[in-house]
Amino acid sequence: MVGSVVILAASSGKNYALANKFCNTFTDKGVDSEVVDLTQLNWPVYTPETEEDSNAAPDTSALSDLISDAPALVVCAPEYNGVMPPVLNNCIAWLSVQSDDFRLLFNNKTVLLASHSGGGGAHCLMAMRQQFSHLGSNVIGRSMTLNKTKEFSQSTMDDLVDRVIQ
C-alpha cells in the first residue's frame, strides 16, 4: 500500500477512541495509518461568502495532501440528529471547494464507515454512505456500528481492516 490509511474522527469522544482502535489494528497488520481529529481543525462553517474571504477560508492543503496520498479512508462519526456530525460535513465542504474537481480527493478511494453513537447510528452510516458514494468513493459494504446495545468486536474490526487492505 502506498501512503498511510487516513482515519477521520468526527468527534473527540468515543469515535476518536474507535479511530485509534482502527489505527492500532492497521499497525498490528503492518499497515501505516494516521488519525485526524476533525474537531481540532477549527475550520469556520463553510458558506460561499466565507470561501470568498481569503482571511476566513482555512488552509486545507495539509489534510488535502494527506487524503490525496492515502490508499483508503476510514471515517468514524457519531449520529447527530439522524445524520452525520456537522464537523464532518463542513470538512468535506471545505475540501471540495479547494480544487477544480470537487471529487478529486474521494473519487475511486476505498472508504470504510464506522459509528459509535448513543442511538442506533444507522442513519449516520446511511448519510455518510450517500455522501461518499456521491463523491465517487468505493464504500465498503460492511460497516462498524457501536452503541448501547452493540459492543466492540475485535474480530469485526479485523475483518473490516482486512477489507481495506485488500
- With 80 as the cut, is the pLDDT of residue 60 above it? yes
Q: Which helix (H) or strand (E) holds 72?
A: strand 72-76
CATH number at residue 117: 3.40.50.360
Whole-structure pTM value: 0.95
What confidence tens digit (pLDDT) does each residue in 66-100 have?
999 999 999 999 999 999 999 999 999 999 998 77
> Can you give the residue range of the structural domain that contains 95?
5-165
pLDDT at 119: 82
Q: How many CB atoms lie within 10 A of CB 124?
A: 30
Our measurement of the distance from residue 38's CA atom to the centroid of its chain's CA atoms, rounded to an integer in Å, reads: 9
What confidence tens digit (pLDDT) does each residue in 115-148 have?
999 888 999 999 999 999 999 999 999 999 999 9
Query: Looking up cell 469522544, which residue turns up?
Result: 13
Percent of all residues in the chain with a pLDDT value above 90, rounded to a whole number = 88
Average pLDDT over residues 43-60: 94
Residue 146: Cβ-neighbour burial (10 angstroms; 0-12, 13-18, 19+): buried
Domain count, the chain: 1
Distance in angstroms (rounded) separating the CA atoms of residues 71 and 93: 21
DSSP bridge partners of 146: 116
